[in-house]
Chain A
């Protein structure tokens, strides 16, 4: 298996300036480890020839990097205007009920992290729920139990 270091070198080669590989490198590390631990930052920094502090400063600006461990699945409910107008809050509450956590939390068994997110760009197909970065469209509270069941089956 290719090492993270090697993967990052390949990405760097795509850009005239290797600094541009910072976001993709952080993404690769997160895909590999699930979240960006201090060790992951050190590894990314070494591959980028940057400081870990620089990498953390960049990562903390963006919503998609996890600076704490998350569950094996990520459930993100859009609660921006278009989704909220058609009942996103009820969808969110249904997930809270099914998973037994509040938005922003991870289930005790590590199955899933639930959180609200800003507009995902699927407004006309609301409510949008992104499950492991794949959009579920037209989600209603009644669909939530089946989605959670699916995650449990996968786990």
Chain B
């Protein structure tokens, strides 16, 4: 590849050594940023973060330093402060936190400890999705290695809390509900977690990659970090590449690389000499781009300008065999399955979307029903407590807007792909046959 020099920061050093282990991590200066940070005032660290302009890597891209600055001072609110890390990575197309936790767990822990110092918290909870056995074990083993190291842990406790399979728990207030032992349903905001979060106390919720970026920022200094990347999207991003690509995987790149470079240089292009048809740029919640829209810079502002979003940086390449109606069905089925059921427009709307899309795919829909689909999408937007239904609606509406001819072609006789699309009849969990014969209970 090498159209430009790429120096990893979050995953830096992990190709050369086994940074999942404490000794190699300390050899390359690990936990020294923590020492430096503990020599600074909490406000001093917040100021460095503000200077770095680090923005949250979970998907919302909110300025991390600002988020921390919303936490009331201990004399303003006597309740304990909590740091909760969102390791519930579940966005289709995104698998970066998986790799970060597995390969650089100590850098992640160091970032958590620096953050705890900055927001004056003694209690860290890491909410990791239940399916992530490997990343959980890497984190558990890393924590075991630093047990008893009071020079590292200080007075801070870290509890790793395992989820149990629910996409919605990636939404921060649903995550907090789940961490409190409830069904993971989002809360009404305000109050925001900074004021009333875990156990109704001031809480910072940050993403895994955000935490792993904190030590390098403290080490380099915020201003130096801000020189990487582009304006408003400073630094690097661990981008997940998947779909129809030669070399899927995670790649840490500076913001400002183009989507074309990501797909063709790093991802190695489309296998089998096939043509690129579309790209989902930031996880399944984001608006789709057509093949001729990929000369866009991969940064927050540039992607917003073309009507989409960087989201959780999950880039999914789709080749020309894929039916866009089937893509709509599969995406809609996912959100239907994962809707928590609290808000009616999302609970009912995602189901309506799936039904109409299935009718379209079967060739049983009429043109007014295509308009009905867009109308349902419109009626979900902006009417729920969290963005789940809204992102589903915006994503599917974008398939119709950008590939309308293909949707119209389905009105007359069904799917023109004749079973050749890879998404043909894919069985989603929401449609799964569930009449299981009951097996003997193992003794």
Contact = CB atoms under 8 A, between A and B. Distances in A.
B65 interface: no
Main secondary structure of the interface of A (DSSP, over half): loop
B181 A123 contact: no
Contacts of A133: 131, 133
Given A65-B164, A81-B330, A17 B180 contact: yes
A108 interface: yes
Q: Which among A16, A21, A80 has the greatest number of chain B C-beta atoms within 10 A?
A: A80
> Chain A contact residues (Cβ within 8 angstroms of B): what range?
35 or more
A23 B181 CA distance: 6
B187 to A, nearest CB: 15
A144 interface: no
Interface string A120-134: 111111100010011
Main secondary structure of the interface of B (DSSP, over half): loop
B181 A62 contact: no
A119 interface: yes
Q: Which among B133, B423, B442 has the greatest number of chain A C-beta atoms within 10 A?
A: B442
A3 interface: no
Contacts of A14: 159
Given A106-B437, A107-B439, A124-B241, A24 B98 contact: no
A135 B180 CA distance: 28
A85 B442 contact: no
A86 B164 contact: no
Given A17-B199, A69-B441, A86-B422, A103 B427 contact: yes
Interface residues of B, number: 75
A104 B161 contact: no
A117 interface: yes
A43 interface: no
B133 A27 contact: no
A19 interface: yes
A134 B250 CA distance: 20
A41 interface: no
Contacts of B427: 79, 89, 92, 103, 116
A59 B91 CA distance: 22
A110 B440 contact: yes
B92 A64 contact: no
Given A123-B240, A124-B250, A105 B442 contact: no
A64 B429 CA distance: 13
Q: Which among B241, B340, B432 has the greatest number of chain A C-beta atoms within 10 A?
A: B432
A116 B337 CA distance: 12
Interface string B10-46: 0000000000000000000000000000000000000
Interface string A33-65: 111010000000000000000000111011111
Contact of A122 (B98, B319, B435): B98
Contact of B284 (A81, A87, A109): A81
A118 B338 contact: yes
Nearest to B331: A81
B373 interface: no
Contacts of A21: 181
Contacts of B243: 81-82, 85-86, 123
Given A63-B164, A82-B242, A121 B95 contact: yes
A72 B442 CA distance: 7
Interface string A66-105: 0011111000000111101111110010000000001111
Nearest to B431: A116
A72 B440 CA distance: 10
A42 to B, nearest CB: 16
B164 A57 contact: no
B362 interface: no
B437 A63 contact: no
6 contacts: A17-B199, A19-B182, A23-B178, A24-B162, A88-B426, A126-B242
Given A22-B182, A72-B442, A79-B330, 11 more contacts: A26-B164, A62-B164, A62-B184, A81-B316, A115-B432, A116-B427, A118-B92, A119-B167, A120-B131, A123-B92, A123-B243
Closest 5 CB pairs of A and B: A124-B248, A22-B181, A63-B165, A123-B242, A62-B164
